Amino acid sequence: MLSKMKINNICCIGAGYVGGPTMTVLADKCPNLKVNVVDTNKKRIALWNNKDLSNLPIYEPGLSEIIGRARGKNLFFTSDVEESLKNADMVFISVNTPIKKKGIGAGQACDLRWVEASARQIAKFCTGKTIVVEKSTLPVKTSEVIEEILVSTSKSEKGKEFYVLSNPEFLAEGSAVENLLNPDRVLIGGDNQNAIQILKEIYLNWVKDEKIISTNLWSSELSKLISNAFLAQRISSINTVSAICEETGANIREVSTAVGYDSRIGKNFLQSGPGFGGSCFKKDISNLVYLCNHFELKEVANFWEQVLLINSWQKNRIYRNIVSKLYGNVANKRIAILGASFKANTNDLRESPSIEICKKLIEEEAYLIIHDPQVSQESLELELESPKGWEFQKNINKVFIDVDAIIILTEWEIYKSLDWLKIYPIVRRPSWVFDTRHFIDADKVKKSGFKFWQVGSCND
Ligand code: UDX
Ligand code: UDX
């Protein structure tokens, strides 16, 4: 009987931004479980196994310390998918689910080829009873696909039984470890109450009972999309307000603080910036729009699509402002770019507004000196898709020499304490500072001689 099933071995397919930290915390909190994290990318696995913990493939505050404790004891990173699945009682699917580039649903629907491939591997290699947990964010009803693949195998191969659960991740990059240790909630969706209970007991090792919610499969899958859609919608809302502030003399920081004090509204996710990035928001809303159109809910689809349109508008509007302040011409100008990642405290460049703005500037023949405390030259090369028009500068003191403009695109803490009085003498004048995150002290920058533009402020 499933209710008596004891979980000893866990396998997670996908050692990425979600699978890596999630399994690390799980292993650390459940020393009696053996956790194998598998990935087809051997280079990534080698980095997870690197002795030097500063070389892990992803940067997350607090992660390396936990890896140092758990790795090699009950946490293992490996490319041996077959062996890990053979022994697993529970399998997490945590592979990437990017937006389709071609074919039906291109630009909106998720590319599910890796989820399907994972389901086929599970069907082939797992033995006995296995609980399969969707961790990747998936379109509503994907568990049906997974179930169908698994059930068709279990019918033909005696002894194999599969139970599918949805257990979406709600971790935000940069605070993933904290989110995993102290989640607002853990959501488990499924039809089989015993399977739900078994997964719940694992979380009970460190999460309070009242924070673990169970729902049906579809509610769980949909709740993940809706959570991200609501968060992104707040950002688009506040970004529209930033433009009104710039025209009227209101200040976006003051407005969002005043609005956020209303406990019905709340303070979080009211920070105006260069538009939201990251692997999730755009993808999940596109997916929601696709789902609504599929069910012929045109008005609902249009409503959510606006969140994406405003996000593109904000990025474009900021870019146009920058070019216009630089006399409508950036060709051959040296421009310092502060921050490449899509937010602070991560090395992730996916959908980063900074990358989009850099690409446009390179296209207009500007020369960029890009700084970021965690991003690597190699990942920038991949994202920028241009060998020319930029250089990567790790040393912050060498970024500003002879630049015509400095654009702050990611809110890394170190940019707050820059000494503008020392920087001004080494730039080419007149020189601009553009603060797209409304995050540095305007007076200090202006007093040191720079011209200054800040999102959501009345500007020069
Ligand atoms: C996750 C989720 O899974 C995605 O649905 C969510 O929307 C965002 O977060 P993430 O962990 O960020 O994805 O993706 P990524 O860092 O690309 O990691 C996925 C890993 O899965 C990669 O390392 C890839 O090599 C691996 N993979 C992919 C496999 O091991 N096997 C496959 O068949 C496909
Ligand atoms: C998001 C969700 O927060 C998380 O719950 C989900 O599991 C995955 O997607 P993530 O994309 O890692 O997490 O980061 P998040 O902190 O949500 O930031 C997303 C983007 O919005 C970033 O580009 C960030 O700079 C931007 N943002 C966030 C704002 O512009 N203003 C804000 O007030 C908050």
User: What domains, with CATH codes, occur in the chain?
Assistant: 2-215 (3.40.50.720), 250-460 (3.40.50.720)
Q: Whose CA is nearest to atom 20 of ligand 2?
A: 276
CA of 135 to the centre of ligand 1 (A): 10
For the chain, give the longest Cα–Cα distance.
Answer: 77
Q: Which ligand is nearest to the CA of 47?
A: 1
Over range 23-42, report the average pLDDT: 98
Give the rounded percent of residues in the chain with a pLDDT score beyond 70.
Answer: 100
Which of these is catalytic: 280, 292, 358, 458?
Answer: 280
**What is the position in ligand 1's atom list of the atom closest to the CA of 40?**
30
- Which ligand approaches the C-alpha of residue 272 most closely? 2
Atom 14 (ligand 2): residue with closest C-alpha? 172
Contact between 139 and 221 (Cβ < 8 Å):
yes
**Contact at 8 Å (CB) between 137 and 169?**
yes
Cβ of residue 280 lying under 6 Å from some atom of ligand 2: yes
State the Rg of the chain over Cα: 24
Q: What is the mean pLDDT of residues 400-404?
A: 98
Q: Could you tell me if 111 and 99 are in contact, meaning their C-beta atoms sit under 8 angstroms apart?
A: yes
Closest Cα to atom 26 of ligand 1: 14
Cβ–ligand 2 contact at 342 (below 6 Å): yes
pTM attached to this predicted model: 0.94
What's the pLDDT tens digit per position in 75-96? 999 999 999 999 999 999 999 9
Q: Of 67-81, 108-122, 134-148, which range is least confident?
A: 134-148
> What's the average model confidence in pLDDT over 228-238?
98
* pLDDT reported for residue 318: 97
Condensed to tens digits (0 to 9), the pLDDT of residues 138-163 reads 777 788 889 999 988 777 888 899 99
Q: Does the pLDDT value for residue 3 go beyond 80? A: no
Comparing C-alpha atoms, which of 176, 357, 276 is closest to residue 286? Answer: 276
pLDDT at 415: 98
Which amino acid does the sequence have at 44? R
Average pLDDT over residues 420-429: 97
Binding-site residues, ligand 1, Cβ < 6 A = 13-19, 39-41, 44, 94-97, 114, 117-118, 136-137, 279-280
pLDDT at 460: 67
